[in-house]
Structure 1
Amino acid sequence: MNDDATLCRRRQEREAFHALLDLDTATRAAHLAEIAAHDPALAVELRSLLDEADADASDLLDETAGTAIGSVIADRFRLLRLLGIGGMSEVYLAERTDEVAQKVALKLVRGDLPLPLARARRERQILARLNHPNIAGLIDAGIADNGRPWFAMEYVEGERITDACDHRALDLPRRAHLFGKVCRAVQFAHKNLVLHRDLKPSNILLDAEGVPKLLDFGIAKLLDVTGPRETQTLALTPAYAAPEQLRGEAATTASDIYQLGLVLYELLAGIPASKAREAAPSTPGTLAPPRLDHAFAALTAREPDLAVRIARERSVSVEKLRRQLRGDLGRIVSKATADASHERYDTAQALADDLDRWAKGLPVSAHRGSFAYRARKLVRRHALAATAIALLAVGLVATSFIAVERAKTERQQRERAEQQRQAAEQQQKRAETLLGFMRDVFHQAEPTNTNGATLDAGELLQRARARLDQRGDIDDATRAALMMEVADVFDTLGLRADALAAAVKAEEALKPLRDTQTQEYLRSAEVLASSLREDGRHEEVVEFVGQVLPFAKAHPGDSRQWEAILRTHRGDALRDLGRLGDAESDLREAVRLLDESDAYDSHDKIFALNELAITTPLLGRLSEARKLFLRVRSLQGADPSTDKLNVLVVESNIARVHLAEGHPREAIAIAEPLVAQFEQLVGKSHDRSIAARSTLARAYIANGDYDSADAEAWRIAALMEDGRAAPRPRSDLLVLQATLDLFRLHPEKVIPALTGELDAIARFGKPINFQSISIETMLGEALLQERRLDEARKQLERTRADAQKVFGDYPSLRSATIEDSLGRCYVMQGDYVRAAEHLGKAAALFRVNQGEEGPSVLRSEIHRSWARVLATHDPSQLDDLRNKRIVLVRAIGGADKPQVWQLDLLIDRLAGQLHQPGIDAAVRQRAEAGLTGLTGSRAPSYVGLNDFYY
């Protein structure tokens, strides 16, 4: 028998063995009899293996019986209940016996498995570095009093990823996106030189919030230290093992990728690869599973009801699922599960990237793409632009048809024949011109005009617009109408400068004609105001709308509607200029005008309400903002013509409200899927996509997940390298990066960048607005963390004065943040009376926005208690801080957060100053380790707690 045949036989034995192992005695005997009828040798081998396993299980149960529920392991963990028993261990739910309230999954390994202590310590140190949001971390490990190795892992309440996705009826793109996170977690471990070796659905759970968590990472590596074949066998699951693992060869990163491929196979097709081999033929002499679509087709023929259920769990029909499993998705799985390790993906990251590309309709590396293949992907990828242009073309064709029909009618109405004939001919000529322009757009895409290059929608439109500028046979009104359409499409594509140039030409062409073509001119004014606003030219918006509004009011018809739209644009600009009172006045008047009008467009109403909802949080009215956004969402749902981009924008705004209210996990739940939806709709570098990613990063920061926020910030920076981003996203990125550096206690990196930005703002004479105030606040905080106290106080006092100009007496979150920083500055300078005053104001302002137990409220109250301790030297004040710690942990969803670590060390330091007992040594060690991991410093010393909102 050749090697491949032997390997296939071995896999068959192992899979049959594991299938029989969990059956009761009678059922197992019946199945063995069936196997013996057609393969007696296999039945004999299985009986021998099962007898040995039963004996081992008996021994293990004897050991388990000696491990009583309630007993304490290593003086640290109390066993609560048995979670499960496996071939090499049993797993218990346990809790810590120290002051830290934490439950763990504690795995007790069989006592007969050798585990050299020195090697175990080294491996444990490596695994302790696996601090990743999608990896259930190793908390501790050691040897129990009875000599049995144990591992304390993060306890995850969840269900297998395959079951969880089925119960949620997730479609394939969302499954691919979710599994991409799993792959990135594996990549993170590989970069830290850690293999998993036993990836399978039961080791990948989804928690209640839909976050994937990998279990048992590295445990197989810890156990596999001596090399005996039986130990290696225990450290893997045959049904998910790579061919090289079944051959007894050393596992590599390629082995983990193979296992990821098998889990992905099951996640997508609903069939474990081991079952798929039975349902459909695979390549002879190979262990690779059959193609996804072949396996599902075979299942459909054999068990149609099961196929219907699997498709329903993926929110599609059976036929559509079969189509989805063909092509690129099947190639991705086949590449991951190739027999030869060198034919698989080089890294888990590469697998994740291909899954992301498939979900977005992009070409994948697993496909050796022909020109036709990539062309199809290009068309699908630019579906929005293609749709916009197609709709424009359809509208123009309809316009042409109507014009022709109108001309026929006019000829029949002789009393008005001449006048209407001329009007119809003019309209027909305009329509023909517009259609000619559309033909020119697509003509520019022909290879003879591109030197073989592939142009995207923006480049095609730019070429056609340039040709339009050169034409002298078009009247001004027609040219303006066309330029307005061009500006809209450019704006949709995120090409702000091009949109503005087209909008300027349209308005300039129609302004001399505005007395006779009033509605056309007002529309051009609205397009120009929008383009100026999107390009960040807020002062110009205010000036331009001020010039146009008197004209709009003076003309009958739909002028009230145009007034409302123009006021909305001006209100948005005034908000960004920091003139919040004026902005609110304009926006409320716009909403009132549209409410009173019977002929308003629902899109205009949505626009005005959305801008008002964005403004109200800056005025300290988050509850009103939430109600307004829900009203907008309701209007969008009632209007089937609502643009998908606007729907996504509103959802992103709702996520921001959750964030401001101190609910980052709710914000993350909304923002994570939104990023992919924005990018699929308008592309990664579009400023809407970048803004959505920025919101997600801020939510990660508020939730204490700085690593994930870092990753998003790097992605944003990479996307903005092409220089096409508007000024506002660039400023947002600066604040985001500064926040991360500052929260990791690197103020020396932050101060030069923020100072340079403020110098640039002053040099260009830009007015104070809430964006500049954010930068000023961050600079003051950086100076404070660097202990440059006099400079920090002066900077924060200036910022406080600027904020008063912008926010006035409104209870804004930014004002609250400034007050907290000032309060801590006075604490450090020993002026505890002023410190308490500022910190009390901060807590009151935060309370208006977040309620009594909002995270930022608690943070400022903690800082005020800190000042009281130093002012009074009263040990009883420490109890107040300890009680606030309990409330803080409850408010932010756990003790494993930077702010809790900072509070623990603050309490410990204050206790030492008052000659009182400090915190528990284990709590101190955990806090120091957590902050050291963030800062890279062995003795991180923060001035207070990191902020939750910035």
Structure 2
Amino acid sequence: MMGGAEPQSVSQHDLEQLAMGLSDDPALLARVESSPDLKARLAQIRDDNALLSELAMTQGGQAVREFDEIPGYELLGEIHRGGQGVVYRARQRSADRVVAVKTLLQGSFATEGQRHRFEREVKLAARLQHPGIVTLHESGRTATGLNFIVMEFVEGETVDRWSKRMREAGRTRDIVTLFATMCDAIRYAHQRGVIHRDLKPGNVLVDAKGQPHVLDFGIAKALNDDDDELVGMTRTGEFVGTLAYAAPEQVSGDPDLVDIRIDVYAIGVMLYEALTGERPIKTVGSLSSIVARISTELPLAASKVSDEIDADLNTIVMTALAKLPRERYQSADDLRDDLVRWLGHRAIAARSHDFWYVARKGLWRHRVPATIAGVFLFMIVGFLAVTSVLAFRLERENRGLEQTVSAIGQALARVDQETSNVQVSDLEEFLAGTNEALGRWLKDRPDIAASLRNSLGLAYLDMEKFADAETQLRQAVELRKSLRPPAEAAIAESEHNLGRVLWRMERFDEAAEVYKSALKLRMELYGPENEDVVRTTHHLAQVLQDLGRPQQAVEMWERTVEARRKLLGPQSPDVANSMLGLATCLQLMGRLHEAQGKLEAALRIVETSYGADSLPVGRVKFRLGSVLIDLDRLSEAETMLNDTRRINALKNSGTLDMARTLHELGRLELMRGTNLTLAETYTRDARSMRERWGNPRRSLAESDLQLGRIAAAQGDLEAAERKIRSGIALLDQASVAEVHCERGFALTWLAEVLWRREKYADAEDCARNANAILAEFRDANDEQFVSNEQILAKALAMRRANGR
């Protein structure tokens, strides 16, 4: 016990804590000593515990013998023995799978308090269904009184051992990636009202794929729980946890100070240890001295312990270890987000107060030609150099070029810390300032203004600032059309880029029009065998697919694949990209084996071109996983999607890519049908990510439709109907075509739910409308089509039976 106020009363729990040596509160001891009744009860508990311990010792392998009485399980050996429990490796006979079984160390001789804690762990663990948290399968008590928990068995090593290997191999990024994934699991627990309170390396296992699994919620704390058994477990003055990983407020003895930020602190300690091989605070000496160091001693900066840790990563670690909770990351999600930012070379939130730092990181993030903002800055520098020379030569002949130099010089000055007194907080502010300079200084040079506005539009597109991107690109198109003679190649370039923006905004009709205009210009300029022509054809095929014109889209995709093979060679990554688009369209049409073949060929190309852990590989594996779900090859699909998820985290491909992957993992679990809670968790997490990032309504519709299907599978038909109708409404808002396979699927699922709710007329209408749509995309043997036909047949039979 670390101090605290005198309890209002002395409970059985308090006495058991004193008897087991887990409490030394002087106020509590004084209260007991002053009461003969309490002294007698304490002595009796101590005598009972001693007797039970002696019996347990003399019984030898009693726990093992009792274990054999758990119906349906075969003991394979002991895994771990801790202070409270024993964990065994066992085989579940019914499922023929290896599981972990945890029992109380004292077996059937456990005290009531020990049993209470054990049962409490079961209640909390049952709330948590997440791939990063060890799953609880079942629990119970044997005829002889042995409490047990059956859990998922994880073959792996503790996170400290795994991190030591990574650290010695110089794989700092792998360590950070794993901790970001771990934070996601802890965030999930926090969102469901559970604080772990004992996060430490021994409670995190890393499997062969490098995925973390958090276990042992034995002393977890429930938030906002009405169950007194859960809330009342921790008394004032009682410390729970492991000192080396405990936050200052955790050792204070005041349970009111304990919240989710103690888990953030513990993750910070583990991360410090994983990166440096040292603990931030030494936990040697007397208990009082250790508590004092935890509370007041500032740890040595992680970057001073290891040269592998840069300033940003050091800031992340030390922020997680802040003594005051308010100065720490406020959630595991916040810590995860900064770890992901570090992996992507982006500005971290913990240093967001440093304006120049954020500006530099923004520019570094958008630094290479493959990144549009990088191209933009490169162009500015090039323009500055060229126009400076021209201005020098033609000073008396063309004063306009001086204005160009001035405009670009002012834009660059905004990111020059040495010459500017303007504070730049990020790349977006820089671009806004450049836009202002262009409007002021380049009125007389529409040719240069158009080029720079085109680049500004691409920069905004890269940042997913779609409205700003549209404004810049429309201005670029108009400026280029105003030139005499019109710059047709440049007009086509800006129209193509505008089409990209409109597609991202899900304004497919408008996107199709500008793509067609760009394609017409490029065909007239270059003929069909030109990469710019093929690129626009590729994009137009995607738009036609989204407009519900799959046959036209497939024909365009096929032309694109063949043209790129001819222009670039059969092993070009661009060929693989077009094959990916073609496969996606084939999947929508139900031509699954064709889609699988295209994707496997594309995967071979991108793995050779980019490497096994590249983003293009992740995107192809995502689509292949989706197709394999449709083919009911769920184990193979799971492998593909987990690889995609790992690559997304490793390469920081963005929250929306991760959301898409989680959604498909949810669909996989829905199809599997054995863990609908996990299916719902994946889907809700994906929807939250999409909503947080302002994702278009079409993706949110996809999430709601899947949540409706999950609710139907769970038997909650009212919720299922509500969610599916919400998804259909979002499709309407997203202007999805009336004849589109997504709408056909949605109506099919709604028809099934309505029929089960005995709304037969509505179900019949939905089924008929669904098949009218699906007939454009699928053949009569398609599963969705057949489902609707069955409803229509039942409706017809019902009408005949009623004489109608």
- For 2:568 and 2:688, the matched residues in 1 are separated by 48
Shift, 1:350, TM fit: 1.7
- With over 3 angstroms needed to count, the CA separation of the structure-2 counterparts of 1:454 and 1:289, relative to structure 1, is same
Partner residue in 1 for 2:42: none
Shift, 1:758, TM fit: 5.2
2:801 maps to 1:804:
no
Shift, 1:580, TM fit: 1.2
- With over 3 angstroms needed to count, the CA separation of the structure-2 counterparts of 1:286 and 1:483, relative to structure 1, is closer
SS of residue in 1 equivalent to 2:139: strand
Picking from 772, 786, 789, the partner of 1:819 is: 786
2:52 maps to 1:79:
no
Partner residue in 2 for 1:612: 582
- With over 3 angstroms needed to count, the CA separation of the structure-2 counterparts of 1:585 and 1:537, relative to structure 1, is same
Unaligned runs of 5+ in 2: 4-50, 222-228, 799-804
Letter in 1 for 2:683: A
Picking from 363, 377, 382, the partner of 1:398 is: 382
Shift, 1:795, TM fit: 0.9
Letter in 2 for 1:155: F
Partner residue in 2 for 1:669: 642
Spell out, residue by residue over 1:465-510, the C-alpha distance to the aligned partner (whole angstroms, 9 max, x if none).
3654566743444343233222222221212233333333333444
2:241 maps to 1:268:
no
- For 1:599 and 1:406, the matched residues in 2 are separated by 41
Spell out, residue by residue over 1:280-339, the C-alpha distance to the aligned partner (whole angstroms, 9 max, x if none).
xx99952469766557856xxxxxxxxxxxxxxxxxxx522375663331231x23xx4x
- For 1:516 and 1:559, the matched residues in 2 are separated by 24
2:671 maps to 1:715:
no
Partner residue in 1 for 2:22: none
Partner residue in 1 for 2:226: none
Shift, 1:711, TM fit: 2.8
- For 2:53 and 2:738, the matched residues in 1 are separated by 75
SS of residue in 2 equivalent to 1:360: helix
- With over 3 angstroms needed to count, the CA separation of the structure-2 counterparts of 1:491 and 1:627, relative to structure 1, is farther
- With over 3 angstroms needed to count, the CA separation of the structure-2 counterparts of 1:493 and 1:371, relative to structure 1, is closer
Residues 160 and 201 of structure 2 are in contact (CA less than 8 Å); yes or no, is this contact kept in structure 1?
yes
Partner residue in 2 for 1:328: 316
Picking from 348, 361, 372, the partner of 1:380 is: 361
- For 2:486 and 2:262, the matched residues in 1 are separated by 74
Corresponding pairs, count = 713
Shift, 1:585, TM fit: 0.9
Which is worse superposed, 383-392 or 704-713? Answer: 383-392
Residues 197 and 262 of structure 2 are in contact (CA less than 8 Å); yes or no, is this contact kept in structure 1?
yes
Picking from 79, 89, 109, the partner of 2:105 is: 109
- With over 3 angstroms needed to count, the CA separation of the structure-2 counterparts of 1:765 and 1:681, relative to structure 1, is closer
Shift, 1:575, TM fit: 0.9
- For 2:234 and 2:737, the matched residues in 1 are separated by 69
Letter in 2 for 1:212: P
- With over 3 angstroms needed to count, the CA separation of the structure-2 counterparts of 1:290 and 1:661, relative to structure 1, is farther
- For 2:155 and 2:279, the matched residues in 1 are separated by 23
- For 2:554 and 2:664, the matched residues in 1 are separated by 23
Partner residue in 2 for 1:157: 155
Letter in 2 for 1:486: L
- For 1:97 and 1:598, the matched residues in 2 are separated by 56
Partner residue in 2 for 1:903: none
Residues 638 and 665 of structure 2 are in contact (CA less than 8 Å); yes or no, is this contact kept in structure 1?
no
Letter in 2 for 1:719: W
Partner residue in 2 for 1:919: none
2:584 maps to 1:585:
no
Residues 728 and 743 of structure 2 are in contact (CA less than 8 Å); yes or no, is this contact kept in structure 1?
yes
Partner residue in 2 for 1:576: 546
Partner residue in 2 for 1:786: 757
- With over 3 angstroms needed to count, the CA separation of the structure-2 counterparts of 1:63 and 1:464, relative to structure 1, is same
Superposed, which structure 2 residues align to 1:333-412 within 5 Å?
334-335=321-322, 338=323, 343-344=324-325, 350-361=331-342, 371-372=353-354, 375-377=356-358, 379-380=360-361, 383-385=364-366, 388-398=372-382, 401=385
- With over 3 angstroms needed to count, the CA separation of the structure-2 counterparts of 1:603 and 1:126, relative to structure 1, is closer
Spell out, residue by residue over 1:171-210, the C-alpha distance to the aligned partner (whole angstroms, 9 max, x if none).
3421330331343355357x25xx6565432222234454
SS of residue in 2 equivalent to 1:465: helix
- For 1:780 and 1:542, the matched residues in 2 are separated by 32
- For 1:558 and 1:434, the matched residues in 2 are separated by 37
2:285 maps to 1:286:
no
Shift, 1:577, TM fit: 1.5
SS of residue in 1 equivalent to 2:464: coil
Residues 580 and 598 of structure 2 are in contact (CA less than 8 Å); yes or no, is this contact kept in structure 1?
yes
- With over 3 angstroms needed to count, the CA separation of the structure-2 counterparts of 1:488 and 1:154, relative to structure 1, is closer
Superposed, which structure 2 residues align to 1:708-747 within 5 Å?
708-720=682-694, 725-747=695-717
- With over 3 angstroms needed to count, the CA separation of the structure-2 counterparts of 1:122 and 1:443, relative to structure 1, is same
**Cα RMSD between the aligned structures?**
5.4
2:200 maps to 1:200:
yes
Q: TM-score, normalised by structure 1?
A: 0.62
Residues 135 and 151 of structure 2 are in contact (CA less than 8 Å); yes or no, is this contact kept in structure 1?
yes
- For 1:242 and 1:499, the matched residues in 2 are separated by 46
Letter in 1 for 2:141: G
- For 1:103 and 1:283, the matched residues in 2 are separated by 38
2:182 maps to 1:183:
no
Which protein is richer in helix relative to its size? 1
Shift, 1:713, TM fit: 1.7
- For 2:253 and 2:439, the matched residues in 1 are separated by 71
Q: TM-score, normalised by structure 2?
A: 0.71
Shift, 1:83, TM fit: 2.9
Residues 89 and 100 of structure 2 are in contact (CA less than 8 Å); yes or no, is this contact kept in structure 1?
yes
- With over 3 angstroms needed to count, the CA separation of the structure-2 counterparts of 1:83 and 1:561, relative to structure 1, is closer
Residues 447 and 480 of structure 2 are in contact (CA less than 8 Å); yes or no, is this contact kept in structure 1?
yes
Partner residue in 2 for 1:140: 139
Superposed, which structure 2 residues align to 1:58-137 within 5 Å?
62-66=58-62, 72-75=68-71, 77-96=73-92, 103-110=99-106, 112-115=109-112, 119=116, 123=120, 126-127=123-124, 129-133=126-130, 134-137=133-136
- With over 3 angstroms needed to count, the CA separation of the structure-2 counterparts of 1:534 and 1:286, relative to structure 1, is closer
Letter in 1 for 2:161: D
- For 2:449 and 2:266, the matched residues in 1 are separated by 60
Residues 656 and 695 of structure 1 are in contact (CA less than 8 Å); yes or no, is this contact kept in structure 2?
yes
